[in-house]
Amino acid sequence: MANLDPVTAIKVSTNAAQHFVESYYPMLNNRRDVMASFYVSQATMDGNKQHLSISFNGNQISDAAAMQAMFEAQMPQSHYEVQCHDCHVVNPNYIADGAQAWPLESGKNMTILVSVSGYVKYGDAKEGKMRGFSETFLLVPNPTAAVSKQRTKNVQEWLIQTQNFRIVV
């Protein structure tokens, strides 16, 4: 098996992380009703070696639907402001069981670790207390996007498989 070109890996992972951050945090601020679409689906994971892991301030969340429900029903309005993010390729040759692989030269058969830090206000944007946050994601290629071979507004190219969020005290 050929190896992924390092320049391609850096370019694809950097673009994926940038797009993810620019999509995910505005969604938290304004479109929580589509939050579950950012995560690996249970149907994708059934019978697979994948495991969805979500930790929010030390609390394990069972799945994407539960995370979305928590944000919609229990969390006040949020105002996230990302200060910086970084990414690293974890596995350059990742293909989920039963998924169609992208061509190797595309660089889209990998897992990407994305680290994000910034500030968040819960409640009123002007009156709320600004708190620091740190968040880490493991992104995997979306098998639905690999089948369609095209990005649409409704299909995320990269999905969250692992997430760990912490408020910085």
pLDDT reported for residue 95: 79
Question: How many angstroms from the chain centroid is the CA of residue 129?
Answer: 26
Tokens 């979500």, located at residue:
54
Confidence of residue 3 (pLDDT cuts 50, 70, 90): confident
pLDDT reported for residue 106: 77
Asked whether residue 83 carries a pLDDT value surpassing 80, the answer given is yes
pLDDT reported for residue 4: 78
pLDDT reported for residue 102: 73
Count of beta carbons in the 10 Å neighbourhood of residue 124: 11
Tokens of 30: 């304004």
Q: Is 97 exposed, middle or buried (0-12, 13-18, 19+ CB in 10 A)?
A: exposed
pLDDT reported for residue 149: 52
Tell me the one-letter amino acid at 35: M
Asked whether residue 164 carries a pLDDT value surpassing 70, the answer given is yes
Asked whether residue 63 carries a pLDDT value surpassing 80, the answer given is yes
